[in-house]
Amino acid sequence: MANTPTPHIGARLGEIADTVIMAGDPLRVKFMAEKYLQDAVLFNQVRGMLGYTGTHNGRRISVMGHGMGGPSIGIYTYELYNFYDVQTIIRVGSAGSIQESLHVGDLVVATGACTNSNYAAQYELPGTFAPIADFGLARRAVEACERHGYRHQVGNVLSSDTFYTENAHNDRWQRMGVLAVEMEIAQLYMNAARAGRNALGICTVSDHLLTGEATTAEERQTTFTKMMDVAFDIVG
């Protein structure tokens, strides 16, 4: 296919599996490849965004980084869906809780994603689009959480374009039942919807925006394995 390799992914068609588990941090991707994949082969290191393909329980799976923010995950997942014929993408990442009942270390299965991004404007829709997860993936993720005994909540997240902001209005999102804030799931779900493919976001609460409780960068990189367990359980 003439579209591969792309400007951002150095793989050729066939080197990436039809299911990709993605994380923002490429070092988290390297960790997943070493922990969960057998015979992992590096297929991408363009811009330092690592990607590997291997097998998990006999099934071919890829893992890859997507960087920080909606524009970054928007580029990578668009190319994976549309140029590499990827069918399913699962994001595993960190999020900040805005609910008292959701604690550091808990998992969030994001069935929907609010956003303050203008990403949907490109589709020129006559209204507001609601980005949602694939129901089958979400259901299997919840079942996996229950099977492992992992604390989790299911519902809406906020995919915010701003990490540092003058006024986050977290109290307003909290009153609407939004569980946590992250930066990429809405754009992933929009790309999946437009391509007719499958997507799910699973997050670990890394900090609490109400209480100030937080984890270190090293802990986020190497110890947030529960969401990875769930992701790999539901794909293979």
Q: Residue type for 62, please? A: S
Pairwise CA distance, residues 27 & 64, whole Å: 10
CB 130 within 8 A of CB 227: no
Instruction: Name residue 110's beta-bridge partners.
Output: 155, 201
Q: Outline where 149-198 has alpha helix (H).
A: 170-175, 185-195
Strands (E) located in 67-185: 88-97, 107-115, 152-159, 180-182
Q: Is 18 helix (H, G, I), strand (E, B) or coil?
A: coil
Instruction: Name residue 41's beta-bridge partners.
Output: 53
Is 134 an active-site residue?
no
**C-alpha dihedral, 130 to 70 to 13 to 20, nearest 10°:** -70
Q: Which of 106, 134, 207, 229 is catalytic?
A: 207
Pairwise CA distance, residues 12 & 187, whole Å: 24
Residue linked to tokens 């110890």: 223
Residue linked to tokens 């939004």: 178
Q: Is 31 helix (H, G, I), strand (E, B) or coil?
A: helix
- Which residues belong to the active site? 207
